[in-house]
A and B are shown apart, each in its own frame.
Chain A
Amino acid sequence: MPAQVTQISAVTAAAAHVLCLAGLAAAHALAGRGALVSNPALALRLLVVCEAPVVIAVFSYLRRDRKSCSFIKAAARGLIGLPVGALLNAFGAIVLGAPVGIKYWTVTIYWSLLMSLFTFVPAACVFGASKIDWQNVLSHSMYVLDFYFTPTDADNYIISVPCHGAVLGAWLGAWPMPLDWERPWQEWPICVTYGAVAGYLVGMAVSLVLIAVHKRRVRAKSD
């Protein structure tokens, strides 16, 4: 399996992450400071609109099966993966207690689209319908400790680690919601979004570190 897979270099990974970061930064610049609190629907929409093309393009470029799959096809997979991942994320959020009232529908939809971009879409672009890869990536999430302390492929890191970061960040971001601090950002999904974005950023940084460490180890071995 690893033979046909093009190894991603640390520079490529960094470039990919920088592009994704640029998408987020553009959305932030467009929305303005504090827009997430004052108008969460607008801010989330901007985030999704700016981030979606970047993520789909970047990860379609990094697709696994270069030979059998064109860039357009990978991008199409990403486009289909976006609503599917959004559905899964929305299910998770609602089961964990996100409000289901009508007035929350728009923000929930935008939030889950954003989470889908962080979690599901990269994997959909890169893996497509390959069962083995999906199973692999899921089992990485199941054996978290092992995954982080034993080396695997670089592109596993580039997909999984920011995804884990986003999910963990969102999960942790939900903790202040029931408290009686009476702050506007305690509303669904503001602090969860903050957590998710923060976790995503941390995940990107960690994935770069892991890739660099991994590369060095591989080089040392080959020497």
Chain B
Amino acid sequence: MGAAVAWWTVAAVLLQVAGLSLFLYGFFPVKPTLHGFSGAESYRMPSCGPVNAVEQEPALPPNQLRSLYREVSGIPPVYDRLVLMVIDGLPAEFVLGRGGNPPSKEMMESMPYTQSLLAGCKATGYHAKAAPPTVTMPRLKAMVSGAIGGFLDVAFNFNTQAFLEDNLLDQLHMIGHKLVMLGDETWIKLFPTLFARQDGVSSFYVRDTTEVDFNVSRHLDFELVAKDWSVLVLHYLGLDHVGHIGGRRSVLMTQKMKEMDDVIRRVHDASLQDNLERTLLVVVSDHGMTEGGNHGGSSYEETDSLALFIGHSVQRRHCSPYDQNEALQVDLAPTLALLFGVPIPKNNIGVLLPELFNSLTDDQKLRTLELNSWQILRLLQAQIPAFCLEECINSEDSLGIDIHPEYIEKKICHFLSKAFASHQSSRLQQSSDFKSAEALYVGTAVDNYHGFLRYASEWLSHRATDKPFYLLISAILLMTLSCLFLMGTVSSLFKGQSLSQAYHQSESHLDQRWHLDEVFILIGIFLYVISLGSSSFVEEEQYTWNFLTSTLYLIFLIKTVQSMLKGSNSTLVRRVEGKSFDANNFSYATNYELTPGKRDGYKLCTVLIVLIAGRVIRAWHQGGINWVHFPDISKSLAQADSSIVKSLQTISVLAVMTLYSVSLKLLRAKSKVVRGVWWSHISCGLLVLLHIWENQINTSLPINHNTTSIAKLFYAIASVSISSTVLASPWIFPIYSMEAKPASSDSNPVKDIDSRGIRNSVFLTGITYIMFWCLLQLLLQQPINAIPLLLIFLQTFSSIAYFSLDKTLHKQWVQVIAMQFLGMAGHFGLGNTNSLASIDVAGAFIGVSSYSTVLSGILMFIITYGSPLMLYLGMLVYISVKDSDDISTQRQLKLSYILDKMVTLPCLLPLLINSVALTSYTTVLLLMRNHLFVWSVFSPKYLYVCAATVCTYVGVSIIAMTAVYTGAVFSFQTR
């Protein structure tokens, strides 16, 4: 049976992996992007053939490059200086109104200068629709590169690395523009070396609405007089902070908008000082905000961002400023690129805004459209490799124009050839003298170009967000199948177990009735799965887990009390209990006689410890999204003296070291290996202490070589001692020891010692795993998490002790699932949430001297999943102390039999629970794919679910491999 179970399990896991990767591939498409920067070749018509064969132009000095661009483009730059003013979170509605109506009177009055510019037709404003996720960094990237990144771009760039794709700022820098940046430090993270002068402010302190903007504006006096820069980026965060605190209608809002209006006035005044009027002022917002001031999703309120242009080329006689002028946020990139005479960034999907080019001649306007089309055509060729323009135009000519083209290639072809043909004919008409005819041709050419550009842009942006429905459905079917496999395996296991149980203990009161704890676990998992469908519950998942876990342990408490009452009542039961107590020889209390009264006391204590520790852990971090600002222990500790945190850390490390010594003592194994492991553990503990103290002294230095080498030494010692323990532990315990200790309470020494060897060795391995794991966590986690870690560790230990004190009280599957529940509650107790923001990035670089994505990724995973993995490691200790008399009844130790008894349930149940969670959440995600919060709430959570799946695989494989190795060694020895 064992082999069949294993095969089914492996098959289920493989199916799950296949389904998961299919779903990830379908849901988070990675679109092909073009690498490198556009150069002079972008002013030539794209040729057919492989796109990658980009002829490398020699790098030119900025001035030569600038004149080269001017020469080949045929359009003189419209402006020389750019002021890009980003007002974080300003909805376009506040400035431009909505649906053709001007904004409310209050809003009009709070931005008098801007409104006067709009009314005087000196400015043009657009509702620039931002693509979700509407958070700052991806939106800034979209503005400067014109590309919409996929969700995974956002997810994998949470430690904001430099922006390497083709973008406007780098292009401007390349032709010799000097850049200055004041404001949000995201810009500096994106472009670490680009700016000649910079002053970054952090968006971390959301409560601060004035300082954050003052720190930008204080430089204005200097910068506006300075003549050396030609691109000035201002990024004001205050308005977004106002929104986060008080929502759209906050009392601070009008005041903040007045402040912004004042900045616009100052900048515009300064730009008017230039008589040449070669300065363009662009006021944009990266995203809007909801009524409550939040953003991240895809509602109109959040995506309605502003793009306002103030410069000579937008001035007109007549205008209607409050028309609903729709544009896309990405349109900013090609527009600015063409206005400043640089190549359009390679991955741009935006379309130039024609109103900005009013000062150009008709011919030049057509040229700008042509350049934009060529650039988009190149991008299209990257997406549809078979597409070829020349072939397409030729075939168009021969076949005539297809009215209803079906294929995307045909459609593009149709639009393109129309556009190029009309452009060509307008060029031909230019030489002739018929002005009216020329204007007519230009008009059709412009229309045709726009037709193509809009269509291609839309297609490209859909390409980034479209989801192949059937692929996703089949992925979910695979996962469901895997889930059913696991369920079938577990249920067949239960059937076999109940049969053998009926055979073995007919007198037993281990009945088939459903107990409250069992019913509760099923209901609890059901409620959890239901709760995944609500975005609020996903945001506040820590409450769900805490509630379920503590309820489960409260039920354990009631059950313990009940069994105590029962025990003191009926003599028959006492006899049975006494018998089971005789057989109970769990390793670390082997030689301790426990009276039933004392045992009950211990049982009560262990459950109470779990409950109370759980409550303290819950109070430690006020996690989640909505109630994060409520006071909690970690916040008050952060405000307190740092020496308190340090001493708490020290206490935790010392406690872990002491507990390890005590449990090794209980093992009573006088082996050199055990002593060696003990010493290495102590030295590791001391290293962690040293690391803590070193860190405390030099908090000012970002990278301390001393601490790095300490951490490295720790990794080395820990890995050596863990692997040597794992390898050696099965060999050091006796298999047949006839000189059995007479003190042991066993009735039949020969048989029992058989199983004790295995159990002791698993115990030693498990306890070594978990203790070193604790030290590793204490090293990596934030200092504030030291006590919660210790508490989770205590919970693990108390649960194991509780389960081993009375083996008949709960069924084994209840015990395994209870430990898994503890792991999940602890995961959130360490301050993790379902948003990517709570991942501790700082810890991922401890002991890593050079930047390595893989290493820090692993460390980040270790930090984030510290608690569930600790419980999986604890499962090994649990296996070693749980009741397994059956092993001893076998004279010969058969490997499959040992494994069957020891690890099937502890391995299968976590896989099953995780599979249920994964499958149901994947279904939820598919159903919610058009939900408002799909990118801000559901997708980050999905990444966590995937990581939890990986965590389950890791934990289960550690359990399984250790058990297989130990069992194999023992069966080899007995042979």
A contact set with B: CB distance below 8 Å: 92, 94-97, 100, 131-132, 134-135, 138-139, 141-146, 171, 174-175, 177-181
Segment of B69-77, B538-546, B858-866 engaged in the interface with chain A: B538-546
B contact set with A: CB distance below 8 Å: 513-516, 519, 534, 536-537, 539-540, 543, 546-547, 550-551, 554, 558-559, 561-562, 565-566, 568-569, 611-612, 614-615, 618-619, 624-627
9 tightest Cβ-Cβ pairs between the two chains A and B? A135-B565, A138-B562, A178-B543, A178-B540, A180-B626, A179-B536, A95-B611, A145-B514, A142-B516
Give the distance to chain A from B634, nearest Cβ to Cβ, in Å: 16
Q: Which residues of B contact A179 (CB under 8 A)?
A: 534, 536-537, 540, 626
Instruction: With A97-B550, A178-B624, A180-B626 as known contacts, state yes or no: A142 contacts B558, CB within 8 Å.
Output: yes
Determine if A135 and B514 form an interchain contact, defined as CB atoms under 8 angstroms apart: no
Docked pose: A179 CA to B515 CA in angstroms = 31
Most chain B beta carbons < 10 A, residue from A135, A139, A141, A174: A135
Docked pose: A178 CA to B565 CA in angstroms = 37
Determine if A180 and B547 form an interchain contact, defined as CB atoms under 8 angstroms apart: no
Q: Which residue of A lies closest to B567 (CB)?
A: A135
Instruction: With A131-B568, A180-B536 as known contacts, state yes or no: A145 contacts B513, CB within 8 Å.
Output: yes
Determine if B561 and A143 form an interchain contact, defined as CB atoms under 8 angstroms apart: no
User: Can you name 30 A-B pairs with beta carbons within 8 Å?
Assistant: A95-B550, A95-B611, A95-B614, A96-B547, A96-B551, A97-B546, A97-B547, A97-B550, A97-B615, A132-B569, A135-B565, A135-B566, A135-B569, A138-B561, A139-B566, A141-B516, A142-B515, A143-B514, A143-B516, A144-B519, A145-B514, A145-B519, A178-B536, A178-B543, A178-B626, A179-B534, A179-B536, A179-B626, A180-B540, A180-B625
Docked pose: A141 CA to B562 CA in angstroms = 10
Give the distance to chain A from B290, nearest Cβ to Cβ, in Å: 12
Q: Which residues of A contact B565 (CB under 8 A)?
A: 131, 134-135, 138
Instruction: With A178-B540, A178-B627 as known contacts, state yes or no: A92 contacts B559, CB within 8 Å.
Output: no
Q: Which residues of B contact A94 (CB under 8 A)?
A: 615
Q: Which residue of A lies closest to B610 (CB)?
A: A95
- Majority SS of interface residues in chain B? helix
Determine if B547 and A138 form an interchain contact, defined as CB atoms under 8 angstroms apart: no
Give the distance to chain A from B621, nearest Cβ to Cβ, in Å: 13
Give the distance to chain A from B570, nearest Cβ to Cβ, in Å: 9
Determine if B562 and A142 form an interchain contact, defined as CB atoms under 8 angstroms apart: yes
Q: Which residue of B lies closest to A92 (CB)?
A: B554
Q: Which residues of B contact A95 (CB under 8 A)?
A: 550, 554, 611-612, 614-615
Docked pose: A143 CA to B515 CA in angstroms = 5
Q: Which residue of A lies closest to B611 (CB)?
A: A95
Tally A-B pairs: CB < 8 A: 77
Determine if A143 and B554 form an interchain contact, defined as CB atoms under 8 angstroms apart: no
Q: Which residues of B contact A181 (CB under 8 A)?
A: 536
Docked pose: A210 CA to B676 CA in angstroms = 65
Q: Which residues of A contact B619 (CB under 8 A)?
A: 100
Docked pose: A95 CA to B607 CA in angstroms = 12
Docked pose: A171 CA to B513 CA in angstroms = 24
Determine if A135 and B562 form an interchain contact, defined as CB atoms under 8 angstroms apart: yes
Q: Which residue of A lies closest to B554 (CB)?
A: A92
Q: A97-B547, A141-B562, A178-B537 are in contact. List 15 more A-B contacts (CB 8 A).
A: A95-B550, A95-B554, A95-B615, A96-B551, A96-B554, A100-B619, A135-B565, A141-B516, A142-B558, A142-B562, A145-B519, A146-B513, A175-B547, A178-B540, A180-B540
Q: Which residues of A contact B536 (CB under 8 A)?
A: 178-181
Docked pose: A134 CA to B558 CA in angstroms = 12
Docked pose: A138 CA to B554 CA in angstroms = 13
Q: Which residue of B lies closest to A179 (CB)?
A: B536
Determine if B514 and A141 form an interchain contact, defined as CB atoms under 8 angstroms apart: no
Q: Which residues of B contact A97 (CB under 8 A)?
A: 543, 546-547, 550, 615, 618
Give the distance to chain A from B850, nearest Cβ to Cβ, in Å: 43
Q: Which residues of A contact B559 (CB under 8 A)?
A: 142
Docked pose: A151 CA to B10 CA in angstroms = 46
Q: Which residues of A contact B513 (CB under 8 A)?
A: 143, 145-146
Q: Which residues of A contact B515 (CB under 8 A)?
A: 142-143
Give the distance to chain B from A62, nearest Cβ to Cβ, in Å: 22
Q: Which residue of B lies closest to A91 (CB)?
A: B611
Give the distance to chain B from A161, nearest Cβ to Cβ, in Å: 15
Docked pose: A171 CA to B523 CA in angstroms = 13
Q: Which residue of B lies closest to A142 (CB)?
A: B516
Q: Which residues of B contact A144 (CB under 8 A)?
A: 514, 516, 519
Give the distance to chain B from A207, nearest Cβ to Cβ, in Å: 18
Determine if B569 and A146 form an interchain contact, defined as CB atoms under 8 angstroms apart: no
Give the distance to chain B from A175, nearest Cβ to Cβ, in Å: 8
Most chain A beta carbons < 10 A, residue from B562, B611, B612: B562
Determine if A141 and B558 form an interchain contact, defined as CB atoms under 8 angstroms apart: yes
Docked pose: A46 CA to B537 CA in angstroms = 34
Docked pose: A196 CA to B539 CA in angstroms = 26
Q: Which residues of B contact A92 (CB under 8 A)?
A: 554
Give the distance to chain B from A173, nearest Cβ to Cβ, in Å: 12
Determine if A146 and B539 form an interchain contact, defined as CB atoms under 8 angstroms apart: no
Determine if B539 and A180 form an interchain contact, defined as CB atoms under 8 angstroms apart: yes
Q: Which residues of B contact A131 (CB under 8 A)?
A: 565, 568-569
Q: Which residue of B lies closest to A133 (CB)?
A: B565
Q: Which residues of B contact A132 (CB under 8 A)?
A: 569
Q: Which residues of A contact B561 (CB under 8 A)?
A: 138
Q: Which residues of A contact B568 (CB under 8 A)?
A: 131
Docked pose: A179 CA to B625 CA in angstroms = 10
CB < 8 Å: which of B514, B540, B566 contacts A146? B514
Docked pose: A144 CA to B554 CA in angstroms = 16
Give the distance to chain A from B10, nearest Cβ to Cβ, in Å: 35
Q: Which residues of A contact B539 (CB under 8 A)?
A: 180
Docked pose: A94 CA to B516 CA in angstroms = 21
Q: Which residues of A contact B514 (CB under 8 A)?
A: 143-146
Docked pose: A106 CA to B627 CA in angstroms = 23
Most chain A beta carbons < 10 A, residue from B536, B546, B565: B565
Q: Which residues of B contact A178 (CB under 8 A)?
A: 536-537, 540, 543, 624, 626-627
Docked pose: A144 CA to B555 CA in angstroms = 12
Docked pose: A171 CA to B566 CA in angstroms = 27
Q: Which residues of A contact B547 (CB under 8 A)?
A: 96-97, 174-175
Q: Which residues of B contact A171 (CB under 8 A)?
A: 551
Docked pose: A139 CA to B511 CA in angstroms = 13
Instruction: With A95-B554, A144-B514, A174-B547 as known contacts, state yes or no: A139 contacts B562, CB within 8 Å.
Output: yes
